[in-house]
């Protein structure tokens, strides 16, 4: 990587000032963590999910969708999820370069080097911060995990229903056919909107 992580610890405000749109990094307890390049499979799945989530949110006027390297500022970290959704109720926390607090929904597409972090540190940080829904997508293993926050503030695993369909709780009416993630080629936005009953030619 051409960008070097700062040698010394810095505050979160210093990190946000140091960060630019070409640098993919996260901040945890004063340390700057540079993100590794991602695979084509990672990028392809992220792009597909970003497109269909953005289309759904736009049609429903449900809020805003942001994507990496946009920052989500939490208590002791600043993470850069692959995709995050902010509901209308929380749009006031959306700043120019970061979200001040937890998103309503976060999607992380796992890379080999991020597997432990996405399932470990980030899982517990997002749970503690109150991210209401967390999707973990693993292209290498072709696995999709979905977690929803209970009233007690603990993540509960939600399995895809019959025929591999997952229904979001945060985005009411949105469902995902898990097989779409591994399908080649991916369904088009129009195909998905049509299946959701939101588009008619």
How distant, in Å, are the alpha carbons of 24, 64, 75, 99 from that of 18?
A: 12, 25, 19, 17
Distance of CA 28 to the CA centre of its chain: 18
Model confidence at 29, in pLDDT bands (50, 70, 90)?
confident
Q: Residue 190 has which token pair? A: 């129009």
3-state secondary structure of 162: helix
Across 59-81, average pLDDT: 94
Tell whether the model's pLDDT for residue 1 goes beyond 60. Answer: no
Model confidence at 181, in pLDDT bands (50, 70, 90)?
very high
Lowest-confidence segment of 55-69, 105-119, 147-161, 180-194 by average pLDDT: 105-119
Q: Which residue has the higher pLDDT, 117 or 177?
A: 177
Q: Find out whether 95 and 64 touch, Cβ atoms under 8 Å.
A: no
Model confidence at 43, in pLDDT bands (50, 70, 90)?
very high
Q: Which residue has the higher pLDDT, 197 or 5?
A: 197
Model confidence at 28, in pLDDT bands (50, 70, 90)?
confident
d(CA 186, CA 36): 25
**What mean pLDDT value characterizes the chain?**
90
Map out the domains of the chain with their CATH numbers. 38-195 (3.90.1570.10)
Across 8-16, average pLDDT: 84
Q: Find out whether 146 and 164 touch, Cβ atoms under 8 Å.
A: no
């Amino acid at each position: 990587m051409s960008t070097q992580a700062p040698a010394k610890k810095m505050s979160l405000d210093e990190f946000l000032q140091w960060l630019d749109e070409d640098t993919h990094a996260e901040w945890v307890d004063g340390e700057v963590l540079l993100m590794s390049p991602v695979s084509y499979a990672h990028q392809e799945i992220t792009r597909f999910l970003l497109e269909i989530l953005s289309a759904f949110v736009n049609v429903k006027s449900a809020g805003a969708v942001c994507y990496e390297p946009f920052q989500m500022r939490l208590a002791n970290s600043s993470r850069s999820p692959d995709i995050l959704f902010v509901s209308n109720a929380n749009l006031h926390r959306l700043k120019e370069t970061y979200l001040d607090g937890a998103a309503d929904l976060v999607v992380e597409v796992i890379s080999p080097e991020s597997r432990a972090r996405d399932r470990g540190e980030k899982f517990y940080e997002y749970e503690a911060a109150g991210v209401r829904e967390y999707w973990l997508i693993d292209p290498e293993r072709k696995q999709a995990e979905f977690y929803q926050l209970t009233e007690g503030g603990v993540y509960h695993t939600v399995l895809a229903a019959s025929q591999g369909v997952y229904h979001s709780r945060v985005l009411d009416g949105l469902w995902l056919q898990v097989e779409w993630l591994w399908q080649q080629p991916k369904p088009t936005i129009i195909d998905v909107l049509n299946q959701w009953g939101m588009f008619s030619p």
